[in-house]
A = this chain, B = another copy of it.
């Protein structure tokens, strides 16, 4: 009558099977969760974060970004490719110079909320 018969050994079975099944119902599809992790993975690198913050302010060419961040042109170019594939930045070519700019409206507010989190956390 109480919460019996769910209980077996852990490792294999759940302790509260009712809770587990209820939660399972609400889980988004695996594929969406995977995409979401992929999306956030892009923000999990200081170089890419710095590039995006720079682009908040102004469109910039590869060379300028490299100079600003004190990094090699190659390193920046590789990271811009990651950002491009994630559709976070777009680019336009002017002669041999390529200007990158933001291609997403959510980034800033996502960053702001992250910023808020770490600020609150660090004052505890």
Using a CB–CB distance below 8 Å, which chain A residues touch chain B?
10-17, 19-20, 22-24, 26-28, 32-46, 48-50, 53-54, 56-58, 60-64, 66-68, 72-73, 87, 97, 104, 106, 109-111, 113-118, 121-122, 124
Contacts and interface: CB of A to CB of B under 8 A. Distances in A.
A71 to B, nearest CB: 11
A22 B58 contact: yes
Identical copies in the complex: 2
Given A11-B72, A19-B60, A110-B110, 15 more contacts: A10-B66, A10-B73, A12-B67, A15-B64, A20-B60, A20-B64, A22-B58, A23-B57, A23-B60, A32-B118, A33-B49, A33-B53, A35-B122, A39-B114, A44-B44
